């Protein structure tokens, strides 16, 4: 019998499992498996309690403000509404390290708020470190994301149902009950799970704004175990616990996101019947004012960096920008290549080999990567390769790989559905013509894939470009990205310079995210 | 009687002016090419589109002064008639009370109406658990239970197969004979309402080009244009 090589996607799946498992084994075995889980118990309890409390509060506040903003924006049309929506989009792709800068710039010791209060003769004290700073930064990043997703869901309510609501004379509460709430409820489990996961795994924000070792997430604790204490065993245990918690969340997310696709409507929505309610007008005005007062200063603080750009145009900046671009491009290539291979394997398992269980496992693999702590993965891989390469070289090689793996779940969501569609539409024709391999990719898949591929590539680049995670382990004079440079400026209280670098990072991240958006909304040609 | 007199609506890319009279208690079938203005005509009667000029009345009452909820009109669309989180019975009950706080007698009415449209025992099902035809029956039950004398059916059965479509239209005809209502219904092919509709109206380019007894319309001077519009759809 002729040997049939395994599908590249099956090799990718095997590779992902091997990488994750290998990293954990390398960490646990590094110093004989010590310390035990029992010995880190009290510390673990402390950071778990902090993580859960800050995550719950951050998620709750983000959801409440985000849903309120979405409803107000859905009900109201006003001059500048388009700008508000654009601002929401910008905040959605804002790198966390830039959000940290914004919180310092507005609420920090020499920030706008304290300066304004001082000017009024205020003598009190306010520290941004701990819960206040962390909550502000998380809500600043996540509330606009919630608002955008919920607004999109509300816009998908069929126009016919709005007409029916008008014809029935629905009151504002009936409109909410029968039209808004079902749309919100369909998004809520997945959205709440995702926000919880993001806040629970938060790194840069908690590292910079935590204000002490007791105020750490598991991600920060893993980083400190690796970078400060060189305690690989503790890092491994912490990573396993985070993996267990986040995997449960990721499994929940996987289940929650399985809902029927939204129906199309035949006309844009007509005027909402509740938009003329006087009480709702007041509620919406208050929500929009609170949202603006909270988000606008933070967003504007990033723009103030414009003034200081000439000051930072030096070799450090250019090298950091070039490194960031190189790493982001390599990470995007890795993410898209792996997503294509994995999507191809899922398609083959589901539609050709009729093996839905294997297909479901492959399909779930990218979500596992959402749960794996990148520090544990990096440290494990580093331990495996450290005998062969210098730390800086290892960092340069590992950064695109880890960032690529981190972007894989997002790239996969863009590409896998299109691969399935291509097979459903043309698979039988291709099989009957004997078109396989690269020709199949070129003739059958690529015409449908090229736009989502562009979207996935740009998004993966945007995510990697603004990332301040793994670079915190390897960063230094030899290896510096733009987010790392920003962190260095923040660390040395050069807030103006940090603002200018932050503006660079946001500009490019937004440009890449916008490119991704354009690709994902463009029709196939 | 429904009277539409020179009702004009203007958009940047489309202009419509309708004049039409429909006798009370009749089934008026509206036919015409896609994009010709059939749905706009129904939306104007329902109050979703406001004409810039002209007059619109039903049973002597000026409809233009009334908001959609105040008009004596019930409407069934082609899709999305039902709220997916509500059961069939609750969807029908919206036709009586949007608050869904029904009295016992009203609950009984809902059960009876579901039975009348052939959905006895389906009250607790949600739209996702029903076929396309069953969902449209629920929408029809809601339109009828609202006791509004003018019912607008905007291609309500066009997504169903021809056999089911015909049986649904027969159901509409049976129900209207039990309770006198005026029905204006947009359709794709005249065969769907053959022998049932008392009036047929041909709408194209945003205008009522002909209206009268179906046989006269189908064999009149616009016969070839009507045939073209049928083959086009």
Least confident among A57-66, A253-262, B62-71, B187-196: A253-262
Q: Which residue has the higher pLDDT, B89 or A155?
A: B89
Cα separations in angstroms, A117 against A100, A101, A106, A110, A299: 21, 20, 12, 11, 20
Segments making up each domain of chain A, as ranges: 1-31+313-525, 51-303
Structure confidence by residue, pLDDT tens digits, A370-429:
778 888 788 788 877 777 877 777 778 888 999 999 899 888 988 888 888 888 777 776
Enumerate the residues of chain A whose CB falls inside 8 A of the CB of residue B11.
none
Identical fold at A1-31+313-525 and A51-303?
A: yes
SS3 category, B16: strand
Residue A164 has pLDDT above 80, yes or no: yes
Asked if residue A483 has pLDDT above 60, the reply is yes
Phi, psi dihedrals of residue B151, rounded to the nearest 5°? -115, 130
Asked if B97 reaches chain A (Cβ–Cβ under 8 Å), the answer is: no
A51-303 CATH choice from 3.40.50.2300, 1.10.3720.10, 3.40.225.10, 3.40.190.80: 1.10.3720.10
CA nearest A198: which of A159, A150, A140?
A140
Contacts of B43 in chain A (CB under 8 A): 163
For residue A429, the model assigns a pLDDT of: 67
Residue bearing tokens 């396993």? A240
CB contact under 8 A, B80 and A166: no
CB-based contact, B13 to chain A, within 8 Å: no
Helical ranges in chain B per DSSP H: 38-46, 88-93, 104-116, 132-145, 162-178, 214-219, 223-232
Using the beta-carbon criterion (under 8 Å), do A167 and B73 form an inter-chain contact?
A: yes
Contact list in A for residue B84 (CB cut-off 8 A) is 182
Distance (Å) from the alpha carbon of A176 to chain B's nearest alpha carbon: 12
Contact at CB, A169 and B74, closer than 8 angstroms: no
| Crossing angle of the two packed helices A218-227 and A41-75, in degrees rounded to 10 | 130
- pLDDT band with cut points at 50, 70 and 90 for residue A459: confident
The sheet carrying B182-186 orders its strands as B61-62, B53-58, B2-11, B14-22, B207-212, B199-204, B27-31, B182-186, B150-154, B73-76
Q: In chain B, which residue's Cα lies nearest the Cα of A272?
A: B48
B86 reaches A (C-beta below 8 A): yes
ipTM over 0.85: no
What is the pLDDT at residue A72?
Answer: 95
Residue B149 CA to residue B27 CA, distance in Å, equals: 12
Q: What are the residues of chain A with a beta carbon less than 8 Å away from any beta carbon of chain B? A: 158-161, 163-164, 166-171, 174, 178-179, 182, 185, 263, 265-266, 270
| A266·B99 Cβ contact <8 A | no
Which region among A173-177, A192-196, B37-41 has the lowest average model confidence (pLDDT)?
A192-196
pLDDT at B233: 57
Domain over A1-31+313-525 is classified CATH 3.50.50.60: no
Per-residue pLDDT at A524 exceeds 50 = no
Cross-chain Cβ contact B83/A182 below 8 Å:
yes
Task: For an interface test with B, give the residue of A167, A269, A275 to mutate (most B CBs within 10 A).
Answer: A167
**Short-list B21, B91, B82, B76, CA closest to B187:** B76
Q: Note the pTM of the prediction, 2 decimals.
A: 0.77
Question: Where does residue B108 rank: exposed (0-12), middle (13-18), buried (19+ CB within 10 A)?
Answer: exposed
Please tell me the distance in Å from A12's CA to the nearest CA on chain B. 38
- Given a cut of 80, whether residue B97 has pLDDT beyond it is yes
């Amino acid at each position: 019998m002729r040997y049939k090589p395994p599908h590249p996607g099956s090799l990718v799946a095997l590779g992902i499992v091997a990488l994750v498992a290998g990293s954990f084994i390398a960490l646990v075995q590094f110093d004989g498996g010590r310390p035990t889980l029992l010995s880190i118990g009290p510390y673990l309890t402390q950071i778990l309690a902090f993580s859960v409390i800050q995550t719950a509060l951050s998620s709750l506040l983000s959801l409440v403000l985000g849903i309120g903003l979405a409803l107000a924006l859905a009900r109201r049309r006003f001059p500048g509404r388009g700008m508000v929506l654009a601002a929401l989009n910008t905040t959605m792709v804002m790198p966390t390290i830039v959000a940290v800068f914004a919180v310092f710039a507005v609420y920090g010791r020499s920030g706008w708020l304290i300066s304004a209060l001082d000017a009024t003769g205020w003598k009190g004290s306010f520290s941004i470190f701990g819960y206040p700073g962390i909550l502000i930064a998380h809500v600043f990043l996540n509330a606009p994301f919630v608002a955008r997703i919920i607004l999109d869901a509300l816009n998908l309510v069929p126009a016919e149902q709005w007409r029916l609501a008008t014809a029935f004379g629905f009151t504002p509460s009936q409109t909410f009950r029968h039209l808004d709430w079902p749309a919100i409820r369909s998004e809520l489990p997945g959205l709440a799970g995702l926000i919880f996961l993001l806040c629970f795994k938060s790194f840069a924000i908690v590292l910079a704004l935590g204000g002490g070792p007791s105020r750490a997430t598991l991600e920060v604790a893993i980083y400190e175990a690796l970078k400060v204490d060189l305690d690989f065993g503790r890092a491994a245990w912490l990573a396993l616990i985070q993996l267990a918690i986040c995997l449960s969340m990721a499994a929940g997310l996987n289940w929650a996101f399985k809902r029927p696709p939204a129906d199309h409507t035949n006309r844009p929505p007509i005027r909402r019947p509740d938009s003329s309610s006087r009480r709702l007008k007041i509620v919406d005005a208050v929500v929009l004012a609170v949202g603006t007062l909270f988000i606008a200063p933070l967003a504007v603080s990033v723009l103030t960096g414009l003034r200081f750009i000439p000051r930072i145009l030096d070799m450090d900046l250019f090298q950091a920008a070039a490194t960031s671009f190189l790493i982001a491009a390599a990470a995007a290539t890795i993410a898209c290549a792996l997503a294509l291979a994995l999507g191809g394997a899922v398609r083959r398992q589901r539609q050709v080999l009729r093996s839905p269980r294997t297909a479901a496992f492959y399909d779930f693999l990218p979500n596992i990567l959402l749960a794996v702590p990148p520090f544990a993965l990096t440290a494990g891989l580093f331990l495996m390769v450290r005998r062969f390469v210098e730390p800086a070289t290892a960092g340069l090689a590992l950064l695109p790989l880890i960032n690529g793996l981190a972007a894989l779940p997002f790239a996969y969501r863009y590409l896998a559905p299109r691969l399935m569609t291509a097979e459903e539409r043309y698979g039988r024709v291709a099989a009957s013509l004997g078109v396989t391999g690269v020709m199949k990719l070129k003739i059958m898949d690529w015409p449908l894939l090229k736009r989502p591929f562009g979207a996935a590539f740009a998004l993966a680049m945007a995510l990697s470009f603004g990332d301040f995670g793994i670079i915190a382990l390897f960063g230094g004079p030899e290896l510096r990205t733009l987010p790392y440079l920003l962190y260095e400026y923040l660390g040395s209280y050069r807030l103006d310079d940090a603002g200018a670098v932050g503006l660079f990072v946001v500009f490019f991240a937004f440009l890449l995210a916008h490119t991704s958006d354009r690709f994902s909304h463009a029709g196939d040609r | 009687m429904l009277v539409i007199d020179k009702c004009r609506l203007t958009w940047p890319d489309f202009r419509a002016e309708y004049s039409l009279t429909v006798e009370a208690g009749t089934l008026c079938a509206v036919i015409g090419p896609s994009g010709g203005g059939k749905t706009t005509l129904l939306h104007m009667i329902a109050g979703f589109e406001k004409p810039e000029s002209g007059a619109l009345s039903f049973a002597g009452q000026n409809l233009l002064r009334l908001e959609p909820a105040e008009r004596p009109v019930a409407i069934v669309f082609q899709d999305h008639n039902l709220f997916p989180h509500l059961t069939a019975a609750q969807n029908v009950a919206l036709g009586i009370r949007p608050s869904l706080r029904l009295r016992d007698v009203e609950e009984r009415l809902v059960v009876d109406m579901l039975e009348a449209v052939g959905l006895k025992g389906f009250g607790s099902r949600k739209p996702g658990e029903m076929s396309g035809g069953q969902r449209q029956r629920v929408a029809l039950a809601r339109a009828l239970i609202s006791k509004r004398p003018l019912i607008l059916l905007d291609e309500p059965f066009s997504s169903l197969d021809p056999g089911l479509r015909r049986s649904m239209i027969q159901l509409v005809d049976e129900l209207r004979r039990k309770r006198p209502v005026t029905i204006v219904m947009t359709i794709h092919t005249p065969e769907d309402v053959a022998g049932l509709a008392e009036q047929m109206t041909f709408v194209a380019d945003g205008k009522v080009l002909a209206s009268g007894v179906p046989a006269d319309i189908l064999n009149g001077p616009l016969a070839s244009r009507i045939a073209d519009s049928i083959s086009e759809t």
